[in-house]
Structure 1
Amino acid sequence: MSSVYPWIRPRRTRELPAEQRELLRKACRLEWATLILIAATSIMMYVVMGGSKAMQTALVEDVLSLLAPAAFLVAARFQRRPVDQEYLNGHTRAFDITFFIAAVALTGVGLAVVIDAVHTLITASHPVITTVAIGDRAVWQGWLMIGGLLISVIPPVVLGRMKLKIAPRIALKTLHADADTNKADWMTALAGVLGIVGIGFGLWWADSAAALFIACSILKDGVTNLRSAVRDMHDAYPQVVDGSSDDPLVAQLHRAVLALDFVAEAQLRFHEEGNRLSGVVFVSTADDCLTLEQVERVVSACREVSWRVDQVTVTVSGLRAKIARQ
């Protein structure tokens, strides 16, 4: 493509600092561990699940929880690719795209599982848990199901806590969303245990109620992640990784620009690109002029605030705006 459009200039992206590169590699190792361990526990649950609706729904959530780590690993692979004449802005949005795809899939399946759980409650379908022969003894299959669910709690608890520690340090919402999904995994496993215990006490509806609780958890995760993904795709105001508040980095950038001696006022318009922030700085000066040296000082001031700041465009605000060339 470079021979067809020789006048195109690809974007120059900043390389991650050494600490963040190592954290990203650690995050990839955690995601590989998640794929392996959750897949293993899913197979175990499939073998022992029997007729419990709650356990079947918990199995669906475990399988769905493989989407987020798989999407993360795909995005990490794409992000490492260099800028070229086709992808002029690089692959900084790889995490945003895979995050969106995983959120859509999770929301769609969550909605389907909720409908199925409600139908089961309405039709009053009674689950049946039989006995199995182990050696010369007959054992209620519910004990095996409870054991399988309790074992399935361990990997998401451990891995989720480790991901929550890393996600803010590399500013990746995909990783934080995966940690939230891990939290939902172990919570739904415990709900499944209560459903099976309810069956043991003759409460047929306990299993379906637990299944509905799990299904609502799946749908909630999907909708929350989908909303966050859509915000990022629309270049909305940056937020922290858990989406609970606005990203304080933008305010820090504003203070850094105002600290420059030639800046009278400043306004910023930044958006997220993966774990990076890029945007425009509108500067007001005494004479409505900016020298090239001053532009470079504004860019440097922003980039010194955080490794997350990537592309910064500086312009003069005001009706008499102009650039003085030196």
Structure 2
Amino acid sequence: MEQIKYDNLKMGEKGAIISIIAYICLTAIKMVIGYMSNSEALKADGLNNATDIIASIAVLIGLRLAQRPADKDHTYGHWKAETVASLVASFIMMAVGLQVLYEAITSVFQGKSESPGIIAAWTGIFCAAVMYLVYRYNKRLALKIKSQAVMAAAKDNISDAWVSIGTVIGIIGSQFGLPWLDPLTAVAVGFLICKTAWDIFREATHHLTDGFDEELIKEYRNTIANVDGVEAVKDLRARNYGNNAVVDVVILVRSDLDLQKAHDISTNVEDELLREHDVYTVHVHVEPDEAPNKALQL
């Protein structure tokens, strides 16, 4: 199973590479057309894609580092490398987002009398279509290999498509005697960049501080409780190593069972979690359930 996980990371690299190529091309197109057509919104959108290049490179580096096997310094492996890379990318994106906001707000207060050329709108439409196609590819890939990093990249792709559509709206609006709408849209783009950076930061720190989905904990508990021989689930904890869930559980079994039978039950618990929820590693601790004996004494 571990080899399958590593193979999935390798496949995930394709999504990151495609995103990098797409963002490089779209950044160049948007920045050139943005300066030629005098569109603040399109230039801001181009800077947004520039940060996405860095974010995608960070994801690619993280996916490759995560493929390193366990060693003396990382006995659990390097799975969290992609999460650390996402955290670094969020800092870079936030810095650029704040820069875009500063320049856009300055442009709004300075006033703008010249509307951008209509070619800027057509550029935005084309770029939105390209990012939607990249989003569809990365989403299918993420679902196939069950990768949170690639799915995060896909969500970033679709958000970029919406940003481009918003840019087009601002540019077209400026053609109808509202030139201030273009830099105002650039402000909105800056806020979207900062929001995306914050979302990535929040998710990355949640994983790095061993936060875990409460609903998944409930599902794990129900699965374990339904395993034959488990009297109760005394304690259950889970954490993430990259895209892999690691579960620690304490179960209660009948106190009169022999060691082999108790061991078989713990093995069944591991097998069920692996089969039902694709959990990477399960640590099961077995304790005797004294309740039946107490009931007999009463």
TM range (shorter): 0.7 to 0.9
2:28 to 22, 35, 43: 43
The equivalent residue for 2:285 is: 315
Q: Give the TM-score, by structure 2 length.
A: 0.84
The equivalent residue for 1:302 is: 273
The 8 Å contact of residues 163 and 179 in structure 1, kept in 2 or not, is answered as yes
The 8 Å contact of residues 239 and 245 in structure 2, kept in 1 or not, is answered as yes
Corresponding position: 1:257 with 2:224 = yes
Q: SS of the counterpart of 1:314?
A: strand
Unaligned ranges ≥5, structure 1:
1-13, 130-140, 239-245, 321-326
The equivalent residue for 1:241 is: none
Question: CA offset at residue 24 of structure 1?
Answer: 4.3
Q: SS of the counterpart of 1:272?
A: strand
2:169 to 178, 194, 198: 194
The equivalent residue for 1:61 is: 48
Question: CA offset at residue 173 of structure 1?
Answer: 2.5
Distance 1:89 1:214 in 2: 40
Moved more, 268-277 or 166-175: 166-175
The equivalent residue for 1:230 is: 205
The 8 Å contact of residues 34 and 155 in structure 1, kept in 2 or not, is answered as no
Q: Aligned partner of 1:303: which letter? A: L
The 8 Å contact of residues 199 and 206 in structure 1, kept in 2 or not, is answered as yes
Question: CA offset at residue 60 of structure 1?
Answer: 0.8
The 8 Å contact of residues 75 and 95 in structure 1, kept in 2 or not, is answered as yes
Q: Aligned partner of 1:300: which letter? A: D
Corresponding position: 1:157 with 2:132 = yes
Question: CA offset at residue 211 of structure 1?
Answer: 0.7
1:180 to 155, 163, 177: 155
Corresponding position: 1:146 with 2:133 = no
Distance 2:74 2:194 in 1: 34
Distance 2:136 2:215 in 1: 22
Distance 2:271 2:127 in 1: 49
Q: SS of the counterpart of 1:285?
A: strand
Q: SS of the counterpart of 2:280?
A: strand
Q: SS of the counterpart of 1:212?
A: helix
1:28 to 4, 7, 13: 13
Q: SS of the counterpart of 1:88?
A: coil
The 8 Å contact of residues 248 and 283 in structure 2, kept in 1 or not, is answered as yes
Question: Percent identity among equivalent residues?
Answer: 20
Please give the root-mean-square deviation of Cα atoms over the aligned residues, in Å: 2.6
Distance 2:203 2:188 in 1: 23
Q: Give the TM-score, by structure 1 length.
A: 0.77
**CA spacing shift, 1:178–1:288, aligned 2, 3 Å:** farther
Moved more, 105-114 or 224-233: 105-114
The equivalent residue for 1:116 is: 103
Question: CA offset at residue 21 of structure 1?
Answer: 6.0
The equivalent residue for 2:237 is: 269
Distance 2:185 2:245 in 1: 42
Q: Aligned partner of 1:268: which letter? A: L
Q: Aligned partner of 2:91: which letter? A: V
